[in-house]
Amino acid sequence: GEDVEQSLFLSVREGDSSVINCTYTDSSSTYLYWYKQEPGAGLQLLTYIFSNMDMKQDQRLTVLLNKKDKHLSLRIADTQTGDSAIYFCAEDPNSGGYQKVTFGIGTKLQVIP
Partner 1 sequence: ETGVTQTPRHLVMGMTNKKSLKCEQHLGHNAMYWYKQSAKKPLELMFVYSLEERVENNSVPSRFSPECPNSSHLFLHLHTLQPEDSALYLCASSQESGSGANVLTFGAGSRLTVL
Contact footprint for partner 1 (CB under 8 A) = 4, 8, 31, 33, 35, 40-45, 48, 50, 88, 92, 94-106
- Rg (alpha carbons) of the chain, rounded to whole number: 14
Return the C-alpha torsion angle 16, 59, 38, 20, nearest 10: -50
Pick 39 or 113: Cβ nearer partner 1: 39
Q: Cα–Cα distance between 74 and 61 in angstroms, integer?
A: 7
Q: How far is the CB of 109 from partner 1 (least distance, A)?
A: 16
Residue type, 67: K
Pick 43 or 74: Cβ nearer partner 1: 43
Q: How far is the CB of 48 from partner 1 (least distance, A)?
A: 5
Pick 13 or 100: Cβ nearer partner 1: 100
Phi, psi of 69 (to 5 degrees): -90, 0
Q: How far is the CB of 26 from partner 1 (least distance, A)?
A: 14
Residue type, 11: S
